[in-house]
Amino acid sequence: MSYLGYPRINFAGRFQSDISTVNNVLRYYDNTRFEPRFQGPAYFVENRIVEDNGLFNPRGTGTFRLADLRVRSGLAADGRLHSSADDDPVVGCRIGEDNLRVNAKMVDIDQRDQTVPGIYGLRMRLVDEAGAELLKGDFDPSWAVDLWRRGPGAQTPGGTNASAAYQSVLTNLSWAPELASPLLRALREATDENMLSIRFVLDGYDVDVVNYGATHTFGRIVGSIGLYQRDEPRRFVAGRRLRRTSGASPLWDTPCRLDEQRRSVFIDLCNSWPTSSKGGPLSDLGEVRLAVLKSDGSPQVLAPLRDVDDSLHEGRGGVAVVPLDAEQLATARNNRLALVDAADPPAVLVAENDDATWIQADEFVFRLYPGKPYDKASTTVHVTRFGRPEAGAQISVTPDVPTTAVELPTTLLTDAKGRATLDITAKEPPNSTVIDGATTTIRLGSPTRPNQPDSKVAVLVFNRYEIPERPTWNRDVWPIFQQYANLYPVMSGLFDLGNYRQVVEQRTYIKRTLLAPHASPTHMPVSRDLSPGKRDMIVKWLDTKPVPPVLEITSRDELKTVLQQALLVELATIPPYCAALFSIKSGRNVKIRELIRGVLLEEMQHMAQVCNIINAIGGHPQIGRPGLVPTYPGRLPGPVLPDVQVRLRPLSLAHVKNVFMAIEQPEHPMVDGRAFHGAVITPQDVKVDPNGRVRSATDEAMRELQDWFVKAEYRPMTIGWFYNQIARAIIRFDDGTLFTGDAKRQVGWPDAPGTLYQVTDRRSALLGIYQIIAQGEASPHDLDGDSIADPDELGHYYRFSEIVEGRQLIRNRRGAWVYEGEEIPFDPDGVYPVVDDPDSHALPDGSMARRESLRCDESYTNLLASLQRVFDGNPSEMDDAVALMGQLQVQAKRLYEIPSSDGATTVLGPAFQSPAPR
């Protein structure tokens, strides 16, 4: 019987679909191309989109909520209408969600198919005015059908006037012991299998991207709850289906049911009749009539539809009932039904198929995986003819486009009950992209009506994933979690999915949500787009004792990946140091300028050194787009210092202390059970020419250096630890075939602070890595060891600490290192008042400020591209990169003349943004 019958209750109200929209843009799935601005809302000027960013609701939670949803009427078993509480006390009662668990979720099957969003984890409650619970039941997950544009509605930025229907069952029903409502008692007594049938329509969804008002992401919900009968489909009415006859028809497809016992046709117009405005009243279409179509296709009118207005739609669930006399009933039983207008002759608006059949799968959305037990699914396909089960009917099964992702039968044949089973077997999708798996739409129709499918089944097949023996954060887990952190920024309110420490802290919670049933509202990810293989890998990693591993370099390819991360770590420090350096006014804070510039040059040398190592082992350094470019504010790339927030700020003592010194925090590794101080290797042990080519190095010194890398134990996730892991991997993989890169790709820098080693073997690679560690983390004690890393220079941390302390670090008469040397004064007036974390894309469109800021970004982008050329086999072009660095500084100084906004006391500064290519 379903909801299209008696008794039933009808409801109307509001819903909220707080979907996240960042994940609606395909390119955002690529971690290397993601930018923080993509998590911001779309930017409009006079209804014109300037930046699409994260579209209309980037911080959506994915939740589906019911709001002020109330019973508007009820229909008794005899068809009598109850429209007030005086008629039946259930009228006016509120329908809400279970207040003892989290909200339901609305989820697309995939970014590439947004036509069948599903509702998961909805538990509905019917409560009276006093708050007493009368009925509770679980909405069996279901998906949108008959998605269409319902009529006039605002376009961008307000969204389209979309409408769609959901039908399912309420299961696990819980009734109040005492029910004052005769309607509810009738429903309870007639309920079969402890389930009720429910259908509702969502429309009027408001996308208020200009004002983000109270109705943003809210819409209208109208529907009905009625009886469910054993063996009937859960997600559609196995009755009759009136379909659009042409694109000009104002009506959409319409479910209906002929009730011979009541001699009535129940017609569900709730999602079929257009509205005069988005979420507004029904349009006036004039008189619309129920008819049958004779053999020649001409209509024979049976009766008009009465009272098609808002009292029908929101008051009675949009279900019209047309009573028939005996003759009309006999005519309707074996002739095609249609709705026609009042013209002469009448035009057919919607009608049954030519053969009066309808083909529909009960379950029609599947997520599969090419591995047991997730590789197979089946669904029952029903065929009706004139609303009755059609035995021996053929069903054509046709994918939208040819695919190897699923194995399907080409045809099905119904049994005596008009049913057939569609079996779907997942195969490996042909290609893997930034989105896991492939989507397929399977069309179901009749072979006698080719190219006119009745319905569809949507399938997502994930890519197969081989679970590593020992998963690690850096290689396996972080790329997945960082993608979710990018696409669902609301998660940052709980914890940072890209932060190892926070993930490990929350691992018990994360594991529970990963293993929660798909139908649960607590299932994570909300999008349900994590494959079983990747889920099981993450769970395995979370279960690793005593703590999940961060980084273990197990292959040469992984070594190249980690070296690329090291390149990005060095690149990530350069803009913050530049921002502070550039912010110093000419002739002011001279000593501080000298200290910061010295560190900056060494960081540039470190990046160049890593590039030389990558080239030496046959890799290809990636500097700039289309690869990852560090963004601000943000963490350092790779598995280092996850709790340090790197920002772009003008010079200040607090910024130097809180950010620069945190980045350069010295680390003394444990070697043979003791904290190591001093130098491992001295300049006397190594001879290098001005271009960084190693001419000689004593075997004993190199053995000591290699042994030191093997023995040194750093705190995990420090920069020293990170480079030590790289050094150990080079030692482990160097079997004589590791250093196969073209020596012509090596870059020299005669004026470099220290030595930029040209790398041709293990020896030069380890020397380069050691110098990076020594220059960055060297303590004053290391000066005593006459290190190869600028023996007359303090490590970066101590140079920055001199700025904070305001004095040079010297050794006193007792041999202790103290900040008692020459004064290093800080003059705050000698610094431009640059705005924190400049953002070019947040500046007004068309303004000079935005123009000049983007020009600075262009200079930075060109600098990165030039450096890419240098380290991609063109070392002779280094002078071009140096010139671009000068241009970048000139452009940055130009920004200091422009207020950051109207009336602001701060000025613009370089944003160091390099937009990802579309």
- Give mean pLDDT, residues 437-450: 95
The distance of Cα 247 from the centroid of its chain, to the nearest Å, equals 35
Residue 445: both structure tokens together:
């129709």
- Find all residues with CB under 8 Å of 844, minimum gap 6, and list them: 850
- pLDDT-based confidence at 821, cuts 50/70/90? very high
Mind listing the pLDDT tens digit for each residue in 622-643? Answer: 999 989 999 999 999 999 999 9
- Give mean pLDDT, residues 473-479: 97
- Give mean pLDDT, residues 333-348: 95
C-alpha to C-alpha distances, 241 to 162, 174, 742, 786, nearest whole angstrom: 21, 33, 69, 87
**Contact between residue 665 and residue 797 where contact means Cβ atoms under 8 Å apart:** yes
- Classify the C-alpha dihedral 34-35-37-39 as positive or negative: positive
Backbone φ and ψ of 388, nearest 5°: -115, 150
pLDDT at 498 over 90: yes
What ranges make up the beta strands (E) of 752-865? 807-811, 817-823
Query: What pLDDT score was predicted for residue 785?
Result: 44
Mind listing the pLDDT tens digit for each residue in 828-871? Answer: 999 999 999 999 999 998 899 999 999 999 999 999 999 999 99
d(CA 635, CA 663): 10
- Give mean pLDDT, residues 61-86: 96
pTM, two decimals, is: 0.93
- Give mean pLDDT, residues 128-140: 96
d(CA 462, CA 222): 35
pLDDT at 790 over 70: no
Residues counted in the chain = 918
Mind listing the pLDDT tens digit for each residue in 207-233? Answer: 877 777 888 999 999 999 999 999 999
**Contact between residue 852 and residue 838 where contact means Cβ atoms under 8 Å apart:** no
Q: Which residue has the higher pLDDT, 248 or 537?
A: 537
Secondary-structure percent of the chain, ordered helix, strand, coil, rounded to 5: 30, 25, 45
pLDDT at 246 over 90: no
- Following DSSP, what letter does each residue of 632-653 receive, concatenated? SSBPPSSSS-TT--B------H
d(CA 831, CA 144): 58
- Following DSSP, what letter does each residue of 38-88 receive, concatenated? GGSPPEEETTEEEE-TTTT-TT---EEEEEEEEEEEEE-TT--EE-STTT-
**Contact between residue 641 and residue 500 where contact means Cβ atoms under 8 Å apart:** no
Query: Please, what is the average pLDDT of the chain?
Result: 93
- Following DSSP, what letter does each residue of 465-528 receive, concatenated? -PPPSS--IIIIIHHHHHHHHHH-GGGGGT--TT-HHHHHHTHHHHHHHHHS-TTSTT-SSTT-
**Contact between residue 585 and residue 915 where contact means Cβ atoms under 8 Å apart:** no
**Contact between residue 610 and residue 566 where contact means Cβ atoms under 8 Å apart:** yes
Cβ atoms < 10 Å from Cβ of 814: 6
Query: What pLDDT score was predicted for residue 613?
Result: 98
- Give mean pLDDT, residues 801-819: 91
d(CA 21, CA 58): 5
**Contact between residue 239 and residue 384 where contact means Cβ atoms under 8 Å apart:** yes
85 CB-contact burial (10 Å; exposed 0-12 / middle 13-18 / buried 19+): middle
Mind listing the pLDDT tens digit for each residue in 550-588? Answer: 999 999 999 999 999 999 999 999 999 999 999 999 999
pLDDT at 724 over 60: yes
pLDDT at 156 over 50: no
